[in-house]
A and B are shown apart, each in its own frame.
Chain A
C-alpha cells in the first residue's frame, strides 16, 4: 500500500489504445467509410481527375468556414452570421468591382475591393464580439440578429445600387490581376501535370484534362494549418481552450477572456470573407443569396469533427475529416445520378446526431463522469 503512488493508478496505454481514444477517431472512421463507399458507387468517377478537383472545391469551402466556427465553439461561442457574412462580403467585392469604389473614389482593383471588404467584415466581427462579451447575452441570439441584419443589408444594397440582386458578367480578373488569381485561380498544377505525365488525367481527345485545383484548396490548407498550430502550440491556443472550458477560472488566472472571444468572432468573419472572395474571383459573379445556410453547415461540420457544443474541447484535424466527409456526401449526387440529392441532408442529420452523442461520451470520459 505504502509504495503505491497516485501515478500508478493511471494505466499506461499502448500507441493503439491512445489512437483509438483520440477524439478524431470517429470522424476519421466515417470519412474512410464514405470515401470507399463513394468510389465504389460512382465506379471511381468521384476520384478521377475532374471528380477530385470538384470534390476538393466544395470540401475546401466547407473546411474554411468550419475551421472558424470550430475555433469559436472551442472558446464557447457560436456564430450564426457566417452565411450572411459570406453574402455581404461577396456583394461588397462584386459591387466595388462593377460600380467602382465608394464615394466616387474611382475604379476598384481586385486588391482594393478585397481589402476594403475585409476591413468592413472584420469590423462587423469586432462589433458582434464586443456586443456578446459586453452584454453577456448568448452569442446564439446576438449572431442570429446579425444573420437577419446582414442578409437584409446585402439585399437592400444590391437593389439600391445595382437594381438587381445579382451581378454577373464581370471581366475575368484572374487574367489581369495576380491578386485575383491568388484567390480565384488554380493551384497545385504540378499535381495534375505529374498525373498526366504518368499517363492519367486524359480527356477524350487524349490531351491533359485538368490543370489544377481551385485556389481555395490552398487557402483551406493555410487556414486549417494556421488554426491547428495556434490551437495546439501557442499561448493563444491555451487561452482559447481555457476561455471555452470555464471562463471564470480562466479570468481568475489572468487570461484575457473577452479579447480572445472578440478576436475569434473576427476570425470567423475572416473565414467567411475568404470563402466569398474565392467564390467571387473564381466565378466573377455574386448573388444576394450566396452563403445562405452555410453557418449551419459550418457548425455541423465542427460538431462532426469532435468539437464540443459546450466549448473547451475540439480538434482542427477532426474538423478537416468532418469537412471531407460532408463535402463528399454533398457532392455525391453528381457522381451517382440515380440518387436523390436530398439524401445528403438525411445523412448530415444522422451523423450530426451520432457525433453529438459521441462527443458527449468523450466529454464525460475526460471529466470522469462515467
Chain B
C-alpha cells in the first residue's frame, strides 16, 4: 500500500465547551477520491477548515508525507499542498477567467505588469486538462455556469500546487447535468494519479460513483470508514443517516 500524502491522527477541535471534533482519523492517498460524508453538524466543515489552516486543532496531529505539520494560516496549508475549494469558490464574478485564475498570484513582468498572454494561455490549458474548453479566457466568470466555475476553482487549486484537493460539497446547488460535469472533473483529476481528493457530499449516489474510500462522521467522530469494496450499499446508506437504523425511521414515519 502506498504512503498516504495526508494523514490525520486523533484530531480534536473544541470551541469553548463545544467539542466539534472528538478525535478523527483520516488518510488521504494520491490518486484516490475520499468521500467524507455526514449529516449537517457532523463536523465536516470543522474538519476541512482545520486541514485548510483556518482553524488550529486543539489536539491530535496532522502529517504531510509522514512529517508532522502545524498550519498556522491558510497560506501554510496551501504551501504544504492542501488546496481547498469552498462552496463559494472564492471567485469574482465581474472579473475574467484569467484574472480570477491568477488572482493574488499574478505572473509579473517588469514594473509589476501582467503577462496577460501567458496567463490567458495557462488558464485555458489548465481548464482544458480537466475538461472545459474555453474559447475566450477574457470572458467574465459571471457568465459561466456553476459547474464551470467549480472546474475553474479546481483547475486553479491544482495549478498552484495542490496535492490534496478538498472539495466542499461541489455538487450541491447545481443542476443535474452540471453535477455530472463536476463528477467527470473529479474523475479526470483522479486519473492524474498524483492528487488525493477529499470529496464532501450529502449525496450517496455521487459518492459511490467516484469515491474509492469513505469516511462517515457523526457528532464529531468517525462512525465508519472503508473502501468501496469493503462497504455494502446498506452500510453506506445506514452510516449516511448518522448510524440510525433506516428501519426505525420507517416505523417512526409510519406511526405519524
- Identify the closest chain A residue to B89 (Cβ): A249
Binary contact readout B131-143 vs A (1 if CB under 8 angstroms, 0 otherwise): 0111110011011
Q: B67 at interface (Cβ–Cβ under 8 A)?
A: no
Query: Smallest CB–CB gap between A299 and chain B, Å?
Result: 19
Give the complex CA separation of A367 and B88 in angstroms.
15
Q: Which residues of B contact A308 (CB under 8 A)?
A: 94
- CB atoms of A367 and B94 under 8 A apart: yes
Q: Which residues of A contact B136 (CB under 8 A)?
A: 7, 10
Q: A267 at interface (Cβ–Cβ under 8 A)?
A: no
- CB atoms of B135 and A255 under 8 A apart: no
Q: Would you list which residues of chain B between 116 and 158 have a CB under 8 Å from chain A?
A: 116, 132-136, 139-140, 142-143, 145, 148
- CB atoms of A242 and B134 under 8 A apart: no
Interface residue total, chain A, C-beta cutoff 8 A: 31
Query: Smallest CB–CB gap between B80 and chain A, Å?
Result: 15
Q: B176 at interface (Cβ–Cβ under 8 A)?
A: no
| Chain A, interface SS category | helix
Q: B113 at interface (Cβ–Cβ under 8 A)?
A: yes
Given contacts A10-B139, A255-B103, A368-B143, contact A250 B114 (CB under 8 A): no
Most chain B Cβ neighbours within 10 Å, of A7, A12, A234, A253: A253
- CB atoms of B94 and A250 under 8 A apart: no
Q: Which residues of A contact B34 (CB under 8 A)?
A: none
Binary contact readout A281-300 vs B (1 if CB under 8 angstroms, 0 otherwise): 00000000000000000000
Q: Which residues of B contact A369 (CB under 8 A)?
A: 142
- CB atoms of B99 and A241 under 8 A apart: yes
From A233, A238, A250, A367, give the contact of B142 (CB < 8 A): A367
Q: A252 at interface (Cβ–Cβ under 8 A)?
A: yes
| Selected A-B contacts with CB under 8 Å, 30 pairs | A6-B134, A6-B145, A6-B148, A7-B133, A7-B134, A12-B135, A234-B111, A235-B112, A235-B113, A238-B103, A238-B106, A241-B92, A242-B99, A242-B103, A242-B104, A245-B93, A246-B91, A246-B93, A249-B88, A250-B92, A250-B104, A252-B74, A255-B104, A312-B93, A363-B94, A366-B93, A367-B140, A367-B142, A367-B143, A368-B143
With A10-B136, A10-B143, A246-B92 already in contact, 7 other A-B pairs whose C-beta atoms are closer than 8 Å: A242-B99, A242-B104, A245-B92, A254-B75, A312-B94, A313-B94, A367-B142
